[in-house]
A = this chain, B = another copy of it.
Amino acid sequence: MTTEQTTRLWERLQPLLEQNARDKIADLIDGMTSREIVHTFVHLREEDQLKLLRLLPNDLAAEVLEEIPDSEAADIIEDLEAHEVVAILNEMPSDERVDLLAELGEEAEEIISKMEPETASDLRRMIEYHAETAGGLMITEFLSYAETTTISEVIEDLRTNAEEYQNYRIRYIYVIDAKGQFCGILQMQDLLLAEDDTRLEHIMHSDPFAVRYDATMDELVDFFDQNDFFGVPVVDERHFLMGVVLRRDVLEAQAEQAAQEHLESRGIVGGDEIRTMPVLLRSKRRLSWLSVNILLNIVAASVIAYHQDVLSSVIALAVFLPIISDMSGCSGNQAVAVSMRELSLGVVRPGEALRVWYQEVSVGVINGTVLGILIGIAAWIWKGNIILGGVVGAALAINTIVAVSIGGTVPLLLKKFNMDPALASGPILTTITDMFGFFLALTFASLTLTHISGL
């Protein structure tokens, strides 16, 4: 659907909300794509968002909340009554439900306490697991049977509970032994290829793969890289089945992680910001990074202040200092980006800073020379003084090599010491390269002062 059509969708929703036209609203939402739902919903005023959720049948309300970013959804849920929230949450798959409740923080307990006791204790346990472990990513809807069950009994169960299972994402049948431990796995087609009275234990694949509930994202990504499975069962310490982590949920969590790293690398602390968040919150999170940055900037600029006498003799240099600082930052940032990429692909390990440094220097020498010559020629032409060209050219060339060295290695070193390379690499890089660039240009200028003084 084109933008124009969705804008019309949104305009059609407004009057329906005023008329409380439940059915028409449900039909409209039902026919929308996820992106249309997200877009339409964030355009509504907060009271209309609440009204919409209240008018929709619970399954559709659940769908809306699943589509929009969790932080948004949590905001809105806080304004609904606990019993309304419970009704909607009951329609969500367990992993989405947990994500949303985790986002709610302390208010989650009020809602959880209104749910069925068994569901409630499941949820409390799942919220405790870190979101980026198998326990946090798993769904708890799966099919399991004792190993002594026959195929016809399984088929009978599938027929009887067809409606309930419809919403499961069933690909495998899990088999548990007499002690309750997970012991085998079957695909649907395996059921087709054997006689009806065969027991599962005779056709199941024994020693099936499983991950523990505390398996990390990296371990899950590795697992699915190596195994072309739809999902992997999750077990506890006693090897009892707890749930299933689906490949798609791992891929989605990984993409989300990458997107948040990208935001952090640009100085959005916390890794997420949607412009419908309150202005003061957005402002505060951006400022926390900017205010560290301005202090680092002042430190770097103190190098200029220190050499102020050189600068007042060669005022033309003031034109080139921001260029040297900015261009070195750009070169360094290219190296940061490549290192982050190589880290995520596994091409490079945190301990290999030396190799990366060597590979960056070779590019830095070439690019530094080219950029240095360019800026040198510009300075020479402008002031008709080749020494000035040499000063700014040499400063930029050398500082480019410094910048790519730092940019390439800092992410690896941060990662090695378990710090977040996305958030810290940029400020560290620019502070050092700014200082060094100013220092080089002003030092070279002071050494050649008799030739360039008064420019």
Q: Give residues in A with beta carbon < 8 Å to B.
A: 3, 6, 33-36, 38-39, 42, 67, 69, 155, 158-159, 162, 169-171, 187-189, 191-193, 222, 225-226, 228, 230, 247-248, 251-252, 254-255, 258-259, 262-263, 265-268, 272-276, 279-280, 282-283, 286-287, 289-291, 293-294, 297-298, 300-302, 304-305, 308, 311-312, 315-316, 318-323, 325-327, 329-331, 333-334, 336-338, 340-342, 344-351, 356, 359-360, 362-363, 366-367, 370-371, 374-375, 378, 382, 430, 434, 438
Contact between A311 and B322 (Cβ–Cβ < 8 Å)? no
Bound together, the chains give a CA A212 to CA B334 distance in angstroms of: 38
Q: Which residues from B are CB-within-8-Å of A305?
A: 316, 319, 382
Looking at the assembled complex, report how far the CB atom of A296 sits from the nearest CB atom of chain B, in whole angstroms: 9
Chain A contact residues: helix, strand, loop or mixed:
helix
- Counted per complex, copies of this chain come to 2
Bound together, the chains give a CA A330 to CA B292 distance in angstroms of: 11
Q: A3-B351, A266-B337, A370-B287 are in contact. Are A430 and B326 (CB under 8 A)?
A: yes
Bound together, the chains give a CA A162 to CA B222 distance in angstroms of: 28
Looking at the assembled complex, report how far the CB atom of A187 sits from the nearest CB atom of chain B, in whole angstroms: 7
Contact between A187 and B189 (Cβ–Cβ < 8 Å)? no
Knowing that A300-B322, A315-B315 touch, tell me 6 more A-B residue pairs with CB under 8 angstroms.
A35-B225, A39-B346, A158-B189, A251-B255, A282-B363, A297-B326
Contact of A286 among B170, B294, B331, B336 (CB under 8 A): B331
Contact between B155 and A338 (Cβ–Cβ < 8 Å)? no
Contact of A342 among B266, B274, B289, B344 (CB under 8 A): B274
Residue of chain B at shortest CB distance from A252: B251
Contact of A338 among B263, B321, B329 (CB under 8 A): B263
Q: Which residues from B are CB-within-8-Å of A228?
A: 169
Contact of A321 among B262, B318, B333 (CB under 8 A): B318
Bound together, the chains give a CA A40 to CA B342 distance in angstroms of: 14
* Most-contacted residue by chain B among A262, A318, A370 (CB, 10 A): A318
Contact between B38 and A345 (Cβ–Cβ < 8 Å)? yes
Contact between A262 and B262 (Cβ–Cβ < 8 Å)? yes
Contact between B334 and A286 (Cβ–Cβ < 8 Å)? yes
Q: A34-B225, A298-B323 are in contact. Are A39 and B347 (CB under 8 A)?
A: yes
Residue pairs across A and B with Cβ atoms less than 8 A apart, 5 shown, are A3-B351, A39-B346, A247-B248, A312-B312, A322-B438
